[in-house]
Amino acid sequence: ARPPSVSRAAALLALGLAAGTAFAQGAPGAGQTLRIQINSDIRSTDPGGNRDDNTDNVLLHIGEGLVALREDTSVGPMLASKVDTSADGLSYTFTLRDGVKFQNGATLTADDVVWSWQRYLKPGSGWRCLSEFDGKGMTRVLSVEAPNPKTVVFKLDRASALFLTMMARPDCGGAAILHRSSVGADGQWKEPVGTGPYKLKEWKRGQYVELTRFDGYTARTEPRDGLTGGKKAEVENLRFVVIPDSAAAKAALYSGGIDAFISPSPSDVIEMRGRSDVRVDTTPVMTMVALLLQTNDPVLKDVRIRRALALALDTPEIARSVTEGLSAVNNSVVPSTSPYYDAAQAGGFKRDIAAAKKLLAEAGYRGQPIRMIANKRYEALYSAAVLVQAMATEAGINIELEVLDWATQLDRYTKGQYQSMAFVYSARIDPALNYEMVSGDKAAQPRKVWDSAYAQTRLAEAMVSRDKARRQALFDEMHKQMLQDVPMIVLFNASDATAMRKNVVGFKGWAPAKPRFWNVRLAAAGG
């Protein structure tokens, strides 16, 4: 833990960042600033580019795509008024809504959509979802054309049941449609000029990102619905304040230095529920906490050692202890909140120390150290790693913990440079996307955990099939095989919490774990 003086200093910094901000209680949002803690700075302002979860969460307030996720995680229109799909699934026609404005005042046209997608699809663009649309993944976009200012047509080389879902993925920036003034004359990124209810005001690196209301925003007429539906910027400014230390964030929330604390620890949630000045929104989410095992490692390439580790762990106890009982065990890549989570998915690992020791003896394991990476940005990862280390010791497995900062761990993950690590995956909306996230060719994408031809064959079918029963069978088969191969040990899906001052009204969490601060207001004192 950090010394108390460090936590106090960080809390004072948070208060200092908020100082000078007009806080006109009772006014209809004018002059108000909603101050939201984030545990690390964003990585860039380019949606779906150089990103992490905090980056996504901030930029989803600025940019919008043709489609977006609804509250139930289905896909609905956003900038499009309607979407038509050809009978063969190879052509998608999007009709744009009337009167949508960019944050520089320009009117959205089909040419802007073409420009944005050409930028995303350019080889080497760095877009998170490029591999899903350039032929390496689910399909290849052959063309994006604008037959008239209101119509955009996408042509694909092969049908995919997940084309619109992939478009809507928050980790891909929602495929936000941006104005070309977002880049300079040299093509280099400047800042996002999107169509969302908030626009970028200031990014003071390492301290805060501030967004301000876009007064020209053109809202949909429906009620708020996930990342689509009617959006309204109820407060003038959103300030995302970087406070890495959770104790400092909690102190700032209690003192009124911030208005919202994203993802407090389970122990803090229990404490906050007892306070009269704070309320906590807790929602089961699709975020996945897991142990990743490098199958190319000289020690862990032996599946018997990986299975022994799985058998050494009491995964229900890890889930219960790490989350203070807020989350239950789930050993499946398919989230427990998914409609595809069935009895087969509920099958998992059972602790058996004797069986673990037998496998280790057969593998000739003699206590070689297995280094496990964790970090303290996500408390659950460090806590889980400590428990894994203790439980593994009982079976004779020598786990050595290596604590890194999150950015370094993420880099090691991306490059596949680890033996094992406690890791967290942000929410994916469809089980095929969950499996795509972890399975694939390690030689081409070192971040992939499960390099299995068996899995890839079934995943490819799940990506194109529209038959729910067949897709369920494919996911069940993949789960059972993963339990045998043990390239990773899924521990649990998180329960996401957001703690707020009592005057924050209208916030609602949801399964994809994306905090949304449109349609959220600051009530007047006593309101």
What tokens appear for 69 in the block? 């996720």
Which tens digits make up the pLDDT trace of 472-482?
A: 999 999 999 99
Q: Where are the domains of the chain?
A: 4-60+186-281+496-522, 67-181, 285-495
CATH architecture assignment, domain 285-495: Roll (3.10)
Task: Note whether 6 and 245 are within 8 A (CB).
Answer: yes
Cα dihedral 409, 414, 420, 421 sign: positive
Looking at residue 410, its pLDDT comes to 95
- Taking the C-alpha atoms of residue 407 and residue 99, their distance in angstroms, rounded to an integer, is 41
Task: Note whether 127 and 120 are within 8 A (CB).
Answer: yes
What mean pLDDT comes out for the span 399-419?
96
Start-to-end CA distance of the chain, whole Å, equals 38
Per-chain mean pLDDT for the chain = 92
- Taking the C-alpha atoms of residue 106 and residue 446, their distance in angstroms, rounded to an integer, is 41
In the chain, what percentage of residues exceed pLDDT 90?
A: 82
In this predicted structure, the answer to whether residue 4 has a pLDDT above a threshold of 60 is no
Query: 466 phi and psi, to 5 degrees?
Result: -110, 5
Query: 318 phi and psi, to 5 degrees?
Result: -60, -45
Cα dihedral 269, 273, 279, 283 sign: positive
Cα dihedral 41, 42, 45, 49 sign: positive
pLDDT band at 514 (very low <50, low <70, confident <90, very high): very high
Distance of CA 181 to the CA centre of its chain: 27
Residues forming beta bridges with residue 10, ordered by sequence position: none
pLDDT band at 525 (very low <50, low <70, confident <90, very high): low
- Taking the C-alpha atoms of residue 182 and residue 149, their distance in angstroms, rounded to an integer, is 20
* Residue linked to tokens 């003071």: 204
Q: How does DSSP assign 325-337, residue by residue?
A: TSS-B--SSS-TT
Looking at residue 218, its pLDDT comes to 96
What tokens appear for 518 in the block? 């449109």
In this predicted structure, the answer to whether residue 175 has a pLDDT above a threshold of 60 is yes
SS (H, E, C) 228-263: ECCCCCCCCEEEEEECCCHHHHHHHHHHCCCCEEEC
Which tens digits make up the pLDDT trace of 362-404?
A: 999 999 999 999 998 888 899 999 999 999 999 999 999 999 9
Choose the CATH number for 4-60+186-281+496-522 among 3.40.50.300, 3.40.190.10, 3.30.565.10, 3.30.930.10: 3.40.190.10
**Helix axes 303-312 and 353-363, enclosed angle (nearest 10):** 160
* Residue linked to tokens 């997940």: 162
* Amino acid identity for residue 496 in this structure: D
More confident residue, 8 or 503: 503
Count Cβ atoms within 10 A of the Cβ of residue 351 and give its class: 0-12 exposed, 13-18 middle, 19 or more buried: middle
What mean pLDDT comes out for the span 4-29?
45
pLDDT band at 310 (very low <50, low <70, confident <90, very high): very high
What mean pLDDT comes out for the span 336-345?
92
What tokens appear for 429 in the block? 């909306």
Cβ neighbours of 355 (radius 10 Å) = 15
Looking at residue 1, its pLDDT comes to 37
pLDDT band at 122 (very low <50, low <70, confident <90, very high): very high
Q: Which of 22, 38, 14, 20 is closest to 517 using CA atoms?
A: 38
Cβ neighbours of 29 (radius 10 Å) = 17
Looking at residue 21, its pLDDT comes to 40
Q: 16-20, 97-101, 109-113, 155-159 — which is least confidently predicted?
A: 16-20
What mean pLDDT comes out for the span 183-211?
97
What tokens appear for 128 in the block? 């998170």
Which tens digits make up the pLDDT trace of 425-454?
A: 987 888 998 999 999 999 999 999 999 999
In this predicted structure, the answer to whether residue 483 has a pLDDT above a threshold of 90 is yes
Task: Note whether 439 and 456 are within 8 A (CB).
Answer: yes
pLDDT band at 2 (very low <50, low <70, confident <90, very high): very low
Q: Which of 254, 302, 268, 249 is closest to 13 using CA atoms?
A: 249
In this predicted structure, the answer to whether residue 25 has a pLDDT above a threshold of 80 is no
- Taking the C-alpha atoms of residue 348 and residue 31, their distance in angstroms, rounded to an integer, is 52
Q: Which residues contact 73 (CB under 8 A, 6 or more apart)?
A: 226, 429, 511, 512
What mean pLDDT comes out for the span 16-39?
65
Task: Note whether 311 and 351 are within 8 A (CB).
Answer: yes
Q: 7-21, 52-66, 137-151, 320-334 — which is least confidently predicted?
A: 7-21
In the chain, what percentage of residues exceed pLDDT 70?
A: 94
Looking at residue 18, its pLDDT comes to 46
Task: Note whether 306 and 482 are within 8 A (CB).
Answer: no
Cα–Cα distances in angstroms (integers) from residue 428 to residues 1, 286, 296, in the given order: 32, 7, 26
pLDDT band at 137 (very low <50, low <70, confident <90, very high): confident
Which CATH superfamily groups domain 67-181? Answer: Dipeptide-binding Protein; Domain 1 (3.90.76.10)
In this predicted structure, the answer to whether residue 73 has a pLDDT above a threshold of 90 is no
Which tens digits make up the pLDDT trace of 450-467?
A: 999 999 999 989 988 878
- Taking the C-alpha atoms of residue 380 and residue 494, their distance in angstroms, rounded to an integer, is 9
